[in-house]
Amino acid sequence: MPSTTDALRLLTAAAVRERCAVVFAAAARGETRHFRLCLGRLDEAAYRVAAVTRRRYPDLNVPYHSRWRHFAAGGIDRAALVAPGADPLEQARARIDLAIVSVLLDAGAGPDWNYREAETGMVLTRSEGLAVASLRAMQQGLFSSDPACPWRADAAVLASLTLAALARALQHDPGNPLYGIEGRARLLRRLGETAAAAPELFGRPARLGALLDHWRPQRGGLPAPAILHTLLRGLGTIWPGGMALAGIPLGDCGHHAAVPGDGIVPFHKLSQWLAYSLVEPLSGAGFAVTELDGLTGLAEYRNGGLFLDYGVLEARDPDLARTPLAAGSEPVVEWRALTVSLLDRLAERVRDQLGREARDFPLAKILEGGSWAAGREIAAQRRPGGGPPLTVNSDGTVF
């Protein structure tokens, strides 16, 4: 019988790394059903990632991979727009509000959606479009209960957010369809309900940015894995799908036959993306965030696509690329697990090529430099529209 301790262990970055390593070991033995591991091609992928990193950041002063990079689409410092004139702690709360809402909206947008930013005239797509759209929605007070203070994400407002209101803010309509819009609206409503039920984390009345005050006792040394664990415990009930262990919601997890016992492989992709994205607001408020490499690489289609497009992973069934796959299906779980383990190995090779050490060039910089951008580039070269090499049917809350 699984225990609460077993379940809580799965709500950690360490468990993501350990369980994915089990699937990787099975692939290395040639025992996985869906993908073949071709490690001899990893150096070529690493060379591409290092080259992309040098081109994007010639001085190798690479920022962390986070949502804040997308807010700066087109070279515009939109972070400076957040809560102007507020004191540093209130500005950090507002940035946490924004980061949480925006990251949870950041699943695949689909190939046919774009966002036209009225303030600049820019037309943005995919992750950048979703980031800027969410920032502009918050600027207009969509998530705030106080018309005089738009830069807030209040639980009561989120809990009552309508599909129509979110669709207007994200410019979704039949001619500009955003993939999974219904799932995104449901996720934000559950977010509001969950925050309202956890005053120890989000205050009373509940606000997402109140997490800053929950973490203030650890201001002198807040480990990144602890940030993730808090997010997973505090927001676990928002995720659809219902996977749970010992009554505890597990969030972004799947099953794989290579894993003994419960067979569960945790990923926590959006939650880890959120943890990475909270580092800068917390640091700006004087927090010392530590152990950044305690988090893992992100099991999503840009990083995973890099390994498929470079042949580091080969589908055993040639028809797999033409088959729509459920997000929780074993082929997708296997692909994601192998991606997490391969990112750690890729990071070592990229650092060697760049002449950097792990202490100065953590995984968050490899991702930003990096693997995500290289995955997007090679996808654009291989496929019209730059879509992923596998077709995954998602509700807008996983990838």
pLDDT value for 327? 87
pLDDT value for 240? 66
pLDDT value for 243? 82
pLDDT value for 399? 47
Give CA separation, 242 vs 221, 239, 273, 328, in Å: 34, 7, 21, 12
- Is the whole-model pTM more than 0.85? yes
Nearest to 130 by CA among 99, 173, 95: 99
Give CA separation, 336 vs 27, 125, 379, in Å: 13, 24, 17
Nearest to 268 by CA among 307, 305, 241: 241
Cα 300–164–178 angle (5° rounding)? 30
Q: Which two tokens stand for residue 34?
A: 């869906």
Quote the distance between the C-alpha of residue 120 and its chain's center: 26
CA distance 242 to 346: 33
H or E stretch covering 156: helix 155-159
* Cβ proximity of 143 and 97 under 8 Å: yes
Place of tokens 């995104």: 184
Q: Give 313's contacts (C-beta < 8 A, 6+ positions apart).
A: 35, 36, 37, 38, 304, 307, 335, 338, 342
Strand partners, 255: 264
What is the block-wise mean pLDDT of the chain (399 residues), using blocks of 10 residues?
87 97 98 97 97 97 94 94 94 97 86 93 94 97 96 98 97 93 92 96 97 96 97 86 83 95 94 95 96 95 95 95 91 98 98 96 96 94 90 66
